[in-house]
Structures are given as structure tokens and as C-alpha cells.
Amino acid sequence: MCVGQPSKSKASSRVASIGRADTKRRTGRDNILAMIESLRHLVGWIVSSFRSREDLVLENMALRRQLLVLHAQRPRTRLTALHNPRPAVRNAERDTLVAMRIFFVLLCCHFAAGASVAREPESEKVSHPGVFLITIDTLRADHVHCYGYERIRTPALDLLAEQGIRFTQAFTPSPITNSSHTSIMTGLLPSSHGVSDFGVPLAGKYPTLAELLANEGYDTAAFIGAVILDSKNFAPGLDRGFEFYDNFPEFTTTKSRWGRLERRGMEVEQHAESWLNAHPAGAHFVWVHFYDPHDPYEPPPPYSEVYKDRLYDGEIAYADSALGHFLAYLKKQGWYEGAMIVVVGDHGEGLGEHHENTHGIFLYDSTTHVPLIVKLPEERDAGRTVDAQVRTTDIMPTILGLLGVAAPASLDGDSLESFLTGTEAVPRTVFGETEYPLRFGWAPLRSIRKEGFKFIEAPKPELYDLRADPGESRNHYVPWDGTVQKLRKAFAELSVKSLAPRKTSPAAVSANTIDELHALGYLGSADARSATDVPEPSLLPDPKDKIEEQNLLHTAMMASEDGETERARAALENVLQLDESSALALTQLGRLEIASGNYAKAVGYLRRARVARPNDATDALEYGRALELSGDLSGARDALLATLKLNPDQFEARLALGRVYLGLNDSNAAEDQLESAVLLQPGNSEAQIKLAEVLIHQKKFAEAVELLETVSEPSSRNPEIFELLAEAYTSLGRRQDAQRAQSRAKALQDSKRPQ
Ligand SMILES: [Zn+2]
């Protein structure tokens, strides 16, 4: 199907008055219910008048959908092109729809005329229901009060469960934030939409929920709680269809993680409120992402006190309070009752189960079982619980189905409409996937959860009988087991559809955002590098054998972010106790010692990393940098030449080698390297300044001046440029220019000095 951006005219036609029907519904809820009832009778009458009932059986579900279509339909929109996701509406049904719609609009006019808030012309009374999607990061289903956890208070989630439909057995296909959210937004498995890693762009060919709703005239906005979902770097393409996507600021001077990496739930909520206040009219599709339960667990007071022994729960309780504020705001605006509200966890948290502290590596229920609650407009089917197994990939088709909007043709998920009304209870097959272990050089995992069994495909496969062993603690796998064979067959069938073996997509995360990934506790693809070159994933180590190392590496990353160098060092040294040739630990120790100024120690660790991963270009680069910093210039030269042999396009390596050659007084070789660096990054002033320095060494003053004058824009704040310029001008006999450059350099130096 064709999905485009909402046209300007469509957007501009979204006049201020549309959507006030929400406000009216608050006061006229009972009227609306009575109206629906009357409408139901009328439809029956029309149907029997035109044709026999056998001919046109309008099932409860179909009526529901048509009502919603009518509800969603603005008068100016085409009637016959009802965005019905199923085969075209039959003529007779269309007749009925026409009649229903006329009656519905008449009724709206009737009630609106009597309602005190109604002031607009009648043609603008009907609107789409508001759709609010709330994702709560790292939320285990079994840590929510309405899911039976007595040690926490989650009144907002409990209220939604009371007024909506609660799915007790909902599962995410991915334990990683970006992949999981992309699955929610596209109705596709990670292996289908391809976002298996941070920074992998979502391809334009997969329509997103926001895009489809924007096409329907919705005003769309997204409010994210962590930089990991920022569409500028870690989640490119996830903003597609959102008119406003609340990314993090591009530049920030703060060292604190708040505002730079994370936003607290209340801040996210406030951002959403501000946007809604500025866009009160029209139908809203708003996605709100609360990141709080993600580690590190640092809830604000009073949650830090009340839950001081269970800070993860404290974060959940706090996120719930932010959700509560948001629901209260929707109520205040009169938008709550008429809205569809979906709350879901993106994945769970290991909390030490199966020795996994956080999430991302394994596919056990601890990280894949999430809460899912759907509150329908007018609180229909309030209080229902659905125990059948469902998936978060079902969310997108469900929302579209309820709105009568056609879903894309081939989705991995399917609408849950019949579950919402209790007319269906057939459990859905749940697939799970994680490629995150590849970041560590370990095998990726896949799982299937079906008919009370979970099968995990791994170098050491696992089979659990979930009815007898819900904690997945007794592995029954034997290759000849009938269940194993059946579930493997289901995998194979899915593979034909979407899981075709493919190369891991390279993440587009740039080097400077790797630090942000580390600060959030994740390894970037650049950390794994050559470890993923192994052609057959099953030859990689099983993550089960490596999970303790992962926990320690995670601890080290979080400790480094908090400036706790000693704790980070201790954790990394513990990794080396488990595996003395762990390249990940050796590289990180090397970096840590470089940052601490212990260059000789860094050289030692990075030399060992080089032995462990001889084909790794980045290890060789870091080794070269450590040698340069330790003063071993000829050693640095050899290491940097080695890394460039592995990958000639490394700007950092060219620049460093230029510096090293300059230090070794080989200015011709330095010039070659720096020219290559400038070619690789033409706008990089550091490389240009270094090259100018080399040119001055070579007494090529005119060339140096030419280069420096292009770098020294009026706004340049780097005194080094003007010092070099002064030197070159002096040598060319341009005394006045030299003096001007010299005083500019001095002024810049003075302004940099602490007052
Ligand atoms: Zn997450």
C-alpha cells in the first residue's frame, strides 16, 4: 500500500474546531451510550427493511467497527472509501453505513445543540477518538500491582486496568528498547523491520502507526524519556509520521545524565502536556515513553525512601505516578473518556534471574513478559482480563482495526479486536529474537513460545515446559523430542516468511555516540567488531556461558559513566579473572587507563587486546594512541600503520599518524597522512591546523597561510590557528598581518584563562 506524508492542505484543513467532540463526550457520555443503543436498533430496522437478516448479519464486532469508523469519520472525508482493513464493504453494508452515518451525524447535531459547550457548526462535531500510546521502559509484568504484585502501588495502571482490558500474557519479541519499540510501531518482528541494533535506520518501506494515523488527519507527537530513542542518532526513522518528535538537545554542556541521556517521567509528561496545550484541537495520536524503570535505579523522593530496598520497584511506582499525572491531565481536558489509551512495557528486566541482571541478552519471560492494558473509548469492556497469549506486534493492527484504518498487508502481528470483546481467546504464537549478544561476540538467540512450551534456539538449545516450570529453570531439550521438532518446524516456517538468514545490519552509530551508549549501559556495534565476523553464529559462545561477564561489563560501563573509576576497574579486572583474553574487558581497561593518564598501563592492556583480536582495527588504533601518549612514537607509528592496513579509511588513525610522524621529524610522511585525514573529513579543523603546522615545518609558508585563512573564520575561537598564522605571515614578511594575528591569538588565550 502507498503511504505518504500528510499533505499540507490536509494538515491545514485540520481546523481548530475538530476534536472538541471529546469535550462534549465528557458531559454527554450517557447520551452517547443511549445513542449507540438507538443506532443499533435503527441499523437492525434498516437492515430488515432492505434485505433479509440472513443476508446481512451484522455481528457485534462488525457493528462496533463501523461505529468506530463512523466515529472516526469526519464529514468531509470520503464515505465510500472507508478505510476498512478487510475486503471491501459490500453494497448492502454500505447502504447501511450511509444510513447509520446520516443518523449518527443527526444525533450529534441533536445532542450538540443541547450541550452547553457546543458552539461550532454541526459539520465539525464528529472527530477521531484520541489515541494515546504509553510505553514504560523495562517494565516486568509481575512487578505491577494489578498484575498481582502486592509490594508496590501502581494506582494509575490499576485504574486503566479497571476501566480497560488487561492482557495477562503479553510478550515482546525483543528485549532491547529500539527493536521492541519499532515492533510496537510497525507490527513487525525485528527480523522483519530490520532494526536489530541501536542506530539501524527503520527502512521507509515499513509504514509506522504514526504515519498511518497522520494520513488519517491525526495530529501526531512523540515524547521520549531516553536518548536511546532519539531519532537523530540511535533511532533513525522512528520519528516517521510524527509532526513533533521530542528529541534531546544536540549540544549540551551538562555532565548530568538528566537532560543529556534521560528525562524523568514527570519531565516527559510535562513536555507532552505543553505540546497538547499548544495543539488543543484536532484528533491526537500521542506516544509517551517513560524510561524510569531502566537502570540505574534512581527514583526521586519519596519513591527513593518508600522503596529504598527495592529501587527498581521505586522507579516503577514513580513512572506510574507520572502516568497518573498524564491521565489526570487528559481528564481535565475532557479527552480521557473518549480516548483509546494503550499502555505497554517495551521489555522486562532480569533482576538476577538466569543470572541476567538487566536485559537484552536472554529471551526468558523475565525480560519478555510485559504488561499490556487497552482502555477503549467510553470505557467499553471495562475490567475484562484476557489470559490468552498475545504479542506487542499486535498493538499496531489493533489500534488501526479499532479506528477502521487499513493495516499494511503483511504484518507479523494481528488485531486483538476480538480479544477485546471476549469473542476470541486463541493464544498467539510468540517469537522472540535478540542479536544483542553479537555485540559481545556471542551467539544471537531466537525463541518460540507456543502451547505451553518455550524453545530457545542457541548453541546449547533450551526447551521449557512452562506449565510445570514457569520459571524456565529445567531445560528438557533433546534433539529428538517431538515438541522440539514441532517448534523448530514453526521457526522454519517463519524463516521462509521473514527470518531469512541475513548479515547483521551495521549500526549507523558514530564514534562519539558510542560513549552515550556506554553511559546507558549498552555496548555499541563498534565494540564487537571483528567478533561478529564469525560466519556461523552457532560457532559463537553461548550467552548462557558468558552472562556473568556481561553483568560485570555492564557494571563497569555504568560505573565509568558515574565517574567511579575504581569500581569500573574492579569490575573489568573481574571479567579478566573469568576470561583472561576478554578483548572487551582489555579494550575498556585500556581506555579507562588512558582517561586516567596511566599510559603505560593502557599500553599493556591494549597490547593484550591486540593479541586477542589481531584483526580488529579499532583495538590497533587505541593501542597506537596509548603508545603515542606514553611517548613511544616509533611503536605508535607501527601500530597506527597496522590499523590503517586493516581499515585505510580511519580519520582518527590518519590524524594520529600525522602527529606521530611530525614528532619523528618526518614531515613528508606527516604531510601525506594529514592530507589523507583532510580528504576523509574535509571540514575537520584539527586536521587542517596540524597540516598547516607541517607546511610551516617544510617552509611552505604561502600554502600554510592559504590553508589557515580558510580555517580562521571570524568566529573561530582557537588561538592556535592565529599563532600559526602569525608565524607564517612573519616568515613571508607580512609584519602587519602577523601582528594582527598575534594579538587575536593573545586575546583568545586571555579569554580562555579562568578569571
Ligand atoms: Zn527498553
Spell out the SS3 assignment of 342-386: EEEECCCCCCCHHHCCCCCCCCCHHHHEEEEEEECHHHCCCCEEE
518 CA → ligand 1 middle, Å:
15
Which residue, among 587, 214, 215, 158, has the nearest Cα to 385 in the 3D structure? Answer: 158
421 CA → ligand 1 middle, Å:
30
> Any idea which residue has 453494508 for its cell?
93
34 CA → ligand 1 middle, Å:
42
Q: How confident is the model at residue 109, as a pLDDT?
A: 36
Per-residue model confidence as pLDDT tens digits over 281-316: 999 999 999 999 999 999 999 999 999 999 999 999
Q: How confident is the model at residue 494, as a pLDDT?
A: 82
DSSP-derived 3-state class of residue 454 = strand
680 CA → ligand 1 middle, Å:
35
Given a contact cutoff of 8 angstroms between Cβ atoms, the answer to whether 209 and 285 are in contact is yes
C-alpha cell at 186: 510497525
Q: How confident is the model at residue 63, as a pLDDT?
A: 34
Is residue 296 reached through a cis peptide bond, with omega within 30 degrees of 0 on the bond before it? yes
Residues belonging to the chain: 755
Q: How confident is the model at residue 4, as a pLDDT?
A: 37
C-alpha cell at 509: 552509530
Q: Is beta strand 445-450 parallel, antiparallel or unpaired with respect to 453-457?
A: antiparallel
Q: How confident is the model at residue 127, as a pLDDT?
A: 65
315 CA → ligand 1 middle, Å:
14
348 CA → ligand 1 middle, Å:
8
137 CA → ligand 1 middle, Å:
4
Given a contact cutoff of 8 angstroms between Cβ atoms, the answer to whether 386 and 167 are in contact is yes
370 CA → ligand 1 middle, Å:
11
Distance CA 569, CA 575 (A): 10
378 CA → ligand 1 middle, Å:
31
242 CA → ligand 1 middle, Å:
20
C-alpha cell at 304: 527513593
> Any idea which residue has 475538530 for its cell?
18
Amino acid of residue 342: V
174 CA → ligand 1 middle, Å:
9
Q: Is beta strand 219-223 parallel, antiparallel or unpaired with respect to 244-246?
A: parallel
C-alpha cell at 299: 527514583
Residue 78 sits at φ, ψ, to 5 deg, of -60, 135
449 CA → ligand 1 middle, Å:
21
349 CA → ligand 1 middle, Å:
9
346 CA → ligand 1 middle, Å:
5
Amino acid of residue 367: T
Distance CA 34, CA 335 (A): 20
521 CA → ligand 1 middle, Å:
12
H or E stretch at 713: none
Which residue, among 183, 294, 187, has the nearest Cα to 235 in the 3D structure? Answer: 183
Given a contact cutoff of 8 angstroms between Cβ atoms, the answer to whether 177 and 261 are in contact is no
Q: How confident is the model at residue 492, as a pLDDT?
A: 85
12 CA → ligand 1 middle, Å:
36
Share of the chain above pLDDT 70, in %: 77
**Cα–Cα distances in angstroms (integers) from residue 82 to residues 53, 68, 108, 297, 415, in the given order:** 23, 11, 20, 47, 18
What stretches in the chain show pLDDT beneath 50?
A: 1-34, 36-126, 499-508, 529-535
Name, in order, each residue with C-beta under 8 angstroms of 149's C-beta and a sequence gap of 6 or more.
142, 143
161 CA → ligand 1 middle, Å:
22
C-alpha cell at 640: 597506527
Instruction: DSSP letter for 394, please.
Output: G
Long-range contacts of 729-736 (CB under 8 A, 24+ apart): 729/705, 731/696, 731/699, 731/701, 732/701, 732/702, 732/705
Given a contact cutoff of 8 angstroms between Cβ atoms, the answer to whether 456 and 540 are in contact is no
Distance CA 149, CA 151 (A): 6
Distance CA 167, CA 717 (A): 58
Given a contact cutoff of 8 angstroms between Cβ atoms, the answer to whether 408 and 207 are in contact is yes
- Buried (b) or exposed (e) across 264-293, using 16+ Cβ within 10 A? bbbebbbbbbebbeebeebbbbbbbbbbbb
359 CA → ligand 1 middle, Å:
8
Residue-range domains of the chain with CATH: 20-124 (no CATH), 131-426 (3.40.720.10)
250 CA → ligand 1 middle, Å:
22
Per-residue model confidence as pLDDT tens digits over 468-518: 999 999 999 999 999 999 999 998 888 766 544 444 444 445 555 666 777
- Biggest CA-to-CA distance, the chain: 104
372 CA → ligand 1 middle, Å:
15
Given a contact cutoff of 8 angstroms between Cβ atoms, the answer to whether 177 and 137 are in contact is yes
Amino acid of residue 38: S
Bridge partners (DSSP) of residue 219 are 284
CA dihedral for 529, 533, 537, 543, sign (positive or negative): negative
369 CA → ligand 1 middle, Å:
13
574 CA → ligand 1 middle, Å:
27
293 CA → ligand 1 middle, Å:
9
569 CA → ligand 1 middle, Å:
27
294 CA → ligand 1 middle, Å:
7
